[in-house]
Amino acid sequence: MLFAALNVHGGEIAGWVADSSRSDNFVLFLKDLIEQTPAGLDLHCICDNLSAHKSAVVKEFLERPENSHVQLTTRRRTRRG
């Protein structure tokens, strides 16, 4: 599983390769990103709807750092017709 982030201001890419898409791996990735985020700036993550991104472990973790925000993309079905 690849977790990746793009710093839209500087163009840097942070990437993590994990053995699975479990929530605890995603939290470790977020911790790393938070540590790299300069003081005074907020971290905004836009994620797909992978269950690891919206688990109780992730929600509990995100309650602590006030400068971190996760937005999930919506699930939409395309209609063929």
User: Cα separations (Å) of 30 from 2, 38, 76, 81?
Assistant: 13, 14, 26, 41
Containing structural domain, residue 13: 2-72
pTM equals 0.75
80 lies in some domain? no
Number of domains in the chain: 1
From first CA to last CA, the distance across the chain in angstroms is: 34
In a domain, 79, yes or no: no
The reply to whether 41 falls in a domain is yes
Residue 65 covered by a domain: yes
Q: Assess if residue 81 is contained within a domain.
A: no
User: Rounded to whole angstroms, how far apart are CA atoms 42 and 1?
Assistant: 25
Half-sphere exposure of 60 (CA within 13 A, CB side): 6
Indicate whether 20 belongs to any domain.
Answer: yes
Q: List per-residue pLDDT tens for the chain, 81 residues long.
A: 888 888 888 888 888 898 888 889 989 998 998 888 888 888 888 887 777 788 889 888 888 777 787 787 876 655 565
* Beta strands 13-17 and 2-6, pairing class: antiparallel
